[in-house]
Amino acid sequence: MPTPAPVSEAEPGAWAGLDGARLPASQVKALAVTQLVVPPRRPDCATDLATPGAPNGEPWPADSGYIAGYPVGNQGKEMSVVVDNSANEAPVFVKIHDLDRRSNVRHAYVESHATFTVDGLAAGRYEVRYQNVVTEAAHAACTGAVPLRQAASGL
Protein backbone atom coordinates (compact mmCIF):
# COMPACT_ATOMS: atom_id res chain seq x y z
CA MET A 1 0.00 0.00 0.00
CA PRO A 2 1.52 3.35 -1.00
CA THR A 3 2.16 5.92 1.69
CA PRO A 4 0.23 9.15 1.14
CA ALA A 5 2.35 12.17 0.43
CA PRO A 6 2.60 14.59 3.34
CA VAL A 7 0.42 17.67 3.11
CA SER A 8 2.58 20.75 2.77
CA GLU A 9 -0.02 23.08 4.24
CA ALA A 10 -2.96 22.21 6.47
CA GLU A 11 -6.38 22.97 5.05
CA PRO A 12 -8.82 22.59 7.95
CA GLY A 13 -11.84 23.40 5.78
CA ALA A 14 -11.03 20.84 3.05
CA TRP A 15 -12.64 17.44 2.59
CA ALA A 16 -11.33 14.36 0.80
CA GLY A 17 -12.96 13.35 -2.49
CA LEU A 18 -13.50 9.76 -3.61
CA ASP A 19 -10.28 9.86 -5.61
CA GLY A 20 -8.28 11.35 -2.73
CA ALA A 21 -8.38 14.86 -4.15
CA ARG A 22 -9.10 17.67 -1.75
CA LEU A 23 -12.50 19.32 -2.09
CA PRO A 24 -13.40 22.73 -0.72
CA ALA A 25 -15.92 22.62 2.11
CA SER A 26 -18.58 24.30 -0.04
CA GLN A 27 -18.86 21.16 -2.21
CA VAL A 28 -19.64 18.89 0.73
CA LYS A 29 -23.29 18.56 1.75
CA ALA A 30 -24.54 16.94 4.92
CA LEU A 31 -28.03 15.81 5.85
CA ALA A 32 -28.93 15.87 9.50
CA VAL A 33 -31.87 13.99 10.93
CA THR A 34 -32.79 14.15 14.56
CA GLN A 35 -35.60 12.59 16.55
CA LEU A 36 -37.53 13.74 19.60
CA VAL A 37 -39.29 10.97 21.51
CA VAL A 38 -41.99 12.56 23.65
CA PRO A 39 -42.29 10.77 27.00
CA PRO A 40 -45.73 9.40 27.93
CA ARG A 41 -47.83 11.64 30.14
CA ARG A 42 -51.46 11.47 31.22
CA PRO A 43 -53.43 14.71 31.61
CA ASP A 44 -53.36 16.06 35.17
CA CYS A 45 -57.01 16.75 36.01
CA ALA A 46 -56.05 18.99 38.93
CA THR A 47 -53.81 21.41 37.02
CA ASP A 48 -54.15 21.05 33.23
CA LEU A 49 -56.45 23.43 31.39
CA ALA A 50 -58.29 22.52 28.21
CA THR A 51 -56.58 23.96 25.15
CA PRO A 52 -59.26 24.40 22.46
CA GLY A 53 -56.94 25.92 19.87
CA ALA A 54 -53.42 26.95 19.00
CA PRO A 55 -51.90 30.03 20.67
CA ASN A 56 -52.45 32.06 17.48
CA GLY A 57 -56.21 31.45 17.69
CA GLU A 58 -56.36 28.90 14.89
CA PRO A 59 -57.98 25.52 15.62
CA TRP A 60 -55.72 22.51 16.07
CA PRO A 61 -55.33 20.60 12.78
CA ALA A 62 -57.52 17.53 12.24
CA ASP A 63 -54.33 15.49 11.68
CA SER A 64 -50.68 15.89 12.58
CA GLY A 65 -49.16 18.74 10.60
CA TYR A 66 -48.11 22.36 10.50
CA ILE A 67 -50.43 24.84 12.20
CA ALA A 68 -52.16 27.35 9.92
CA GLY A 69 -51.25 30.98 10.43
CA TYR A 70 -47.62 30.45 11.43
CA PRO A 71 -44.80 31.14 8.97
CA VAL A 72 -42.65 28.29 7.68
CA GLY A 73 -39.09 29.56 8.01
CA ASN A 74 -35.54 28.33 7.41
CA GLN A 75 -36.43 26.38 4.29
CA GLY A 76 -33.70 24.13 2.96
CA LYS A 77 -32.89 20.49 2.28
CA GLU A 78 -30.23 19.70 4.86
CA MET A 79 -32.22 18.78 7.98
CA SER A 80 -35.36 17.10 9.24
CA VAL A 81 -36.73 16.44 12.72
CA VAL A 82 -38.91 13.42 13.54
CA VAL A 83 -41.27 14.02 16.47
CA ASP A 84 -42.30 10.64 17.90
CA ASN A 85 -45.40 11.04 20.06
CA SER A 86 -46.39 7.37 19.78
CA ALA A 87 -46.19 6.66 23.53
CA ASN A 88 -48.13 9.73 24.62
CA GLU A 89 -51.89 9.80 25.23
CA ALA A 90 -52.05 13.54 24.52
CA PRO A 91 -51.23 15.46 21.36
CA VAL A 92 -48.31 17.90 21.47
CA PHE A 93 -47.66 21.42 20.18
CA VAL A 94 -44.11 21.54 18.76
CA LYS A 95 -41.90 24.54 18.01
CA ILE A 96 -38.61 24.31 16.14
CA HIS A 97 -36.50 27.15 17.55
CA ASP A 98 -33.50 28.54 15.66
CA LEU A 99 -30.83 29.11 18.31
CA ASP A 100 -28.83 31.55 16.17
CA ARG A 101 -31.75 33.74 15.10
CA ARG A 102 -33.53 33.27 18.44
CA SER A 103 -36.87 32.69 16.78
CA ASN A 104 -39.35 29.89 16.19
CA VAL A 105 -39.23 28.75 12.56
CA ARG A 106 -41.76 25.91 12.54
CA HIS A 107 -44.95 25.20 14.51
CA ALA A 108 -46.57 21.77 14.33
CA TYR A 109 -49.27 19.70 15.98
CA VAL A 110 -48.63 15.98 16.52
CA GLU A 111 -51.57 13.78 17.43
CA SER A 112 -51.39 11.29 20.27
CA HIS A 113 -49.85 7.92 19.32
CA ALA A 114 -48.44 9.44 16.10
CA THR A 115 -45.22 10.71 14.55
CA PHE A 116 -44.61 13.74 12.35
CA THR A 117 -41.55 14.74 10.35
CA VAL A 118 -40.62 18.41 10.22
CA ASP A 119 -38.64 18.42 7.00
CA GLY A 120 -37.09 20.85 4.61
CA LEU A 121 -35.03 22.70 7.22
CA ALA A 122 -31.87 24.58 6.33
CA ALA A 123 -28.69 23.56 8.15
CA GLY A 124 -28.44 25.25 11.52
CA ARG A 125 -28.63 24.93 15.30
CA TYR A 126 -32.13 24.17 16.49
CA GLU A 127 -33.92 23.35 19.71
CA VAL A 128 -37.12 21.31 19.67
CA ARG A 129 -39.68 22.60 22.16
CA TYR A 130 -42.96 20.87 22.89
CA GLN A 131 -46.02 21.23 25.10
CA ASN A 132 -48.70 18.64 25.83
CA VAL A 133 -52.09 19.71 24.52
CA VAL A 134 -55.14 18.89 26.60
CA THR A 135 -57.98 18.66 24.11
CA GLU A 136 -61.60 19.28 25.10
CA ALA A 137 -62.23 15.51 24.98
CA ALA A 138 -59.31 14.72 27.28
CA HIS A 139 -60.32 17.47 29.69
CA ALA A 140 -63.94 16.24 29.67
CA ALA A 141 -62.69 12.88 30.95
CA CYS A 142 -61.55 14.72 34.07
CA THR A 143 -65.12 15.76 34.91
CA GLY A 144 -66.31 13.64 37.79
CA ALA A 145 -62.86 12.22 38.43
CA VAL A 146 -61.98 11.93 42.08
CA PRO A 147 -58.93 14.10 42.83
CA LEU A 148 -56.04 12.46 44.59
CA ARG A 149 -55.54 13.46 48.20
CA GLN A 150 -52.13 14.36 49.55
CA ALA A 151 -50.76 12.00 52.17
CA ALA A 152 -50.53 13.35 55.70
CA SER A 153 -47.12 14.73 56.57
CA GLY A 154 -45.05 13.57 59.48
CA LEU A 155 -45.40 9.86 58.81
Identify the pLDDT of residue 148.
Answer: 44
Contact between 8 and 22 (Cβ < 8 Å)? no
pTM of the predicted structure, to 2 decimals: 0.67
User: Region 111-132: what's the mean pLDDT?
Assistant: 91
Please check the confidence at residue 144 and state whether its pLDDT lies above 50. yes
Q: What is the pLDDT of residues 87-119, one digit of tens each?
A: 988 888 999 999 999 999 999 999 999 999 999
State the Cα–Cα distance between residues 23 and 46, nearest whole angstrom. 60
Q: What is the pLDDT of residues 35-48, one digit of tens each?
A: 888 888 777 776 66
Q: What is the pLDDT of residues 52-90, one digit of tens each?
A: 888 888 888 889 999 998 989 999 988 899 999 999 888
State the Cα–Cα distance between residues 107 and 118, nearest whole angstrom. 9
**Domain boundaries defined on the chain:** 28-140
